[in-house]
Chain A
Amino acid sequence: MRILVVEDEKKVASFLKKGLEEEYYAVDCAYDGEEALYMVEASDYDLVILDIMLPKIDGLEVLKGVREKGLSLPVLMLTAKDSVEDVVKGLDAGGDDYLTKPFAFAELLARVRALIRRKEREPAGELRVGDLVLDPVSHTVSREGQEIDLTAKEYALLEYLMRHADRVVTRTMISEHVWDYHFDPMTNVIDVYVNHLRKKIDLNSSQGLIHTIRGVGYMLKG
């Protein structure tokens, strides 16, 4: 899951990126409104965390711009303004949720999970494909009750595949949602990670879950 953090305060952007990355999200940062609008269009983000007071273009204007472009991705607004009018204005401009500064990081994470869940129209709780179970809160993965130890990227990749189970997932989709903009699409990093993941998940089981669709990408199927 890939998130864009729009925040002009460098230190805030920095700890948000760090904290979210540790939760296995791919995170990019934009430091003003103009940059934010450009980046939202350039990549397919799963969520935007948007500060309201921004240089160049105000956060509310960014939000309107995003909605005018027909992008329906969830937007979590983050601001020091906490009056009712500000909240109403933000939500009416197309925001999906609102969090006032200073906030508890755990709450931010919960809201991010909720917004992504809503976007994917999933019920709360664990993700299941066959006997494979992933808990997005504790970040644990198990198969047939046996816990599987995964690296951050492997976990992020598996979460993405599980959210799109029974559908073909292209390498471009994976690169856009699991990696941030530093990712180099010319490498075979994705194939390498998929192989690692397949070894950990399918090795001790008779039934393979990760299928390769030749020339297109992969599919997770129970």
Chain B
Amino acid sequence: MILYKTIKFRMTLWYVVILGIILSSFSFFLYFTLADSLYKGVDNKIKTMAEIAVSSARSPLGAGPSMADLDRIMTERFGIKPLGRFIQILDESGRVGGMSTNLRNVKVPLSVQTLQAASKGRTTFETVQVMGKYPLRLVTMPITDNGRMAGIVQVGSPLEEVEEALHQLLFILLIAVPAALLLASAGGLFLANKALRPVDEITQIARRIGSGDLSQRIRIKRVNDELGRLAATFNEMIAKLDESFRRIKRFTADASHELKTPLTILRGEVEVGLKKKRTLQEYQRILNSNLEETNRMSRIVDGLLTLSRADMGELTMEREEVDLSSLAREVWDDLQILARERRVQLSFMDDGFTTVEGDPLFLRQLILNITENGLKYTPAGGEVELRVKGDHDQGVVRIFVSDTGVGIAPKDQKRVFDRFFRADKARSRETGGTGLGLSISQWIARAHDGQITVKSTVGKGSTFTVTLPLKD
């Protein structure tokens, strides 16, 4: 996987970029606000000092106070010696009249513009480079006497502390911001990695499922977050797929087995029959047997086709009024031959209003299937009863088929409607069953918004009940 294409990388990148913008803006703001306020503080201080110096210079003491006086004034006014700061007083032509003691060896420049501004009575602030590596902040204030400039006071303060502080801040910011971003990206990547690891796992498992292994599940650690729910949903989906694949596999295996048995008989009998010359009776026996097997295969294929078309929703049900009573009577009539053949008594009863809405052909097949089934599993001398009963109160019609046959074991009762399920394999084949009749019956009942159930006691018999909604 290419890193820059991953979500975690992009997430981290965005996160770091946004954090970077915020941090840098904040740093800029911090730096410039602080610088501004520090410079303003210096300006205010030197201005105050200059004002004091100006006012003292204008005092009746006369022009040209001595430097000792200035130091004294400072000490008097501020209570402390103005360390680092210096004052110098010049006459109107710019010659130095006096200066504070700490300025003894330094020449403070006085530009022409500043002098001109002073002569017009304006105060000028400027930053000049005079000594050392740090610049000097300088205020030049005129001493006016009756609107005329009598001299100039210059107060300077080295910017060493301010610059030092700002440098330090800049240094801290330049180190701290990238470090914070680095940490944030590492942390972000770690978090994104951790949060998205289940996604990678899901991908891997999906890949394995793609190769046919449906037993795989995602291990869920945190159930309640988004990915936990996604993983749980994914697992449920796989389980459903697994189940339906299993069902299809079993169904295919069953279907192929059901079709292979008659095929084996057809092929085997014909091959053995052709090995040498046979009597006419022998050939007739083989052909009859083959016909029987061919018929059985056709019935299985028909049943499979019906069910698969039903599964695909391709079978359309007619919706017309059908009187189940007369339909059941027809079935009962048709099955009399089979009943006599098997020496089973088949009786019919109907009761009440039994009209439903549905497809007469399918409903007929439903009644035929379960009644025929009852006949096949009832030994000679037994009874099968077909009963149709309308229940107006519950709004349903019920069809009961009760037999006195072999019955179905409780564990098999649920499965009798499964395709190709046979409680007794040998008996079912001997009676010519395809193993699909009850599945088809169940589908028909459900397609009519009804249901089919079975109650049975082994050795006593079974009752199949079809419940269909009454037509009102």
Contact = CB atoms under 8 A, between A and B. Distances in A.
A183 interface: no
B5 interface: no
A16 B267 CA distance: 11
A47 to B, nearest CB: 18
Contact of B260 (A19, A101, A105): A101
Interface in B425-462: 425-426, 429
A22 B273 CA distance: 11
Contacts of A103: 264, 267-268
Contacts of B426: 8, 55
B272 to A, nearest CB: 4
B257 A80 contact: yes
Interface string A66-103: 00000000000000110100000000000000000111
A55 B272 contact: no
B411 interface: no
A10 B405 CA distance: 23
A182 interface: no
Interface residues of B, number: 21
A50 to B, nearest CB: 15
Given A53-B257, A55-B426, A80-B256, A101 B272 contact: no
A11 interface: yes
Contact of A11 (B260, B265, B275, B425): B265
A18 interface: yes
B272 A15 contact: yes
B271 A104 contact: yes
Contacts of A12: 261, 264-265, 268
Contact of A9 (B256, B261, B266, B271): B261
Contacts of A11: 265, 269, 289, 293
B275 A15 contact: no
Contact of A105 (B256, B257, B268, B425): B268
A55 B428 CA distance: 12
B253 interface: yes
Nearest to B268: A15
Interface in A90-144: 101-106
B268 A102 contact: yes
Given A9-B429, A80-B256, A22 B272 contact: yes
B271 A106 contact: yes
Interface string A11-52: 110011011001000000000000000000000000000000
Contacts of B257: 53, 80-81
Contact of A101 (B264, B269, B289, B293): B264
Contacts of A81: 253, 257
A83 B253 CA distance: 9
B372 to A, nearest CB: 22
Contacts of B275: 19, 22, 105
A219 to B, nearest CB: 33
Contacts of A53: 257, 425
B260 A15 contact: no
A102 B264 contact: yes
A83 B250 CA distance: 12
Contacts of B266: 102
B133 interface: no
Contacts of B265: 9, 11-12, 15
Contacts of B429: 9
A12 B267 CA distance: 10
Contact of A80 (B260, B272, B289, B293): B260
B421 to A, nearest CB: 14
A55 B268 contact: no
B261 A80 contact: yes
A22 B276 CA distance: 9
Nearest to A14: B269
Contacts of A22: 272, 275-276
A105 B265 CA distance: 11
A101 B276 contact: no
Nearest to B269: A15
A102 B260 contact: yes
Interface string B274-306: 011000000000000100010000000000000
Nearest to B286: A15
Contacts of B271: 19, 104-106
22 contacts: A11-B269, A12-B261, A15-B265, A15-B268, A15-B272, A16-B268, A19-B268, A19-B271, A19-B275, A22-B275, A55-B425, A80-B260, A81-B253, A81-B257, A101-B264, A102-B260, A102-B266, A102-B267, A103-B267, A104-B271, A105-B267, A105-B275
Return the 5 tightest CB-CB contacts between A and B, nearest first.
A19-B272, A105-B271, A101-B264, A102-B264, A80-B260
Given A12-B268, A103-B264, A105-B267, 12 more contacts: A12-B264, A15-B269, A16-B268, A18-B272, A19-B268, A80-B256, A80-B260, A83-B253, A101-B263, A104-B267, A104-B271, A105-B268
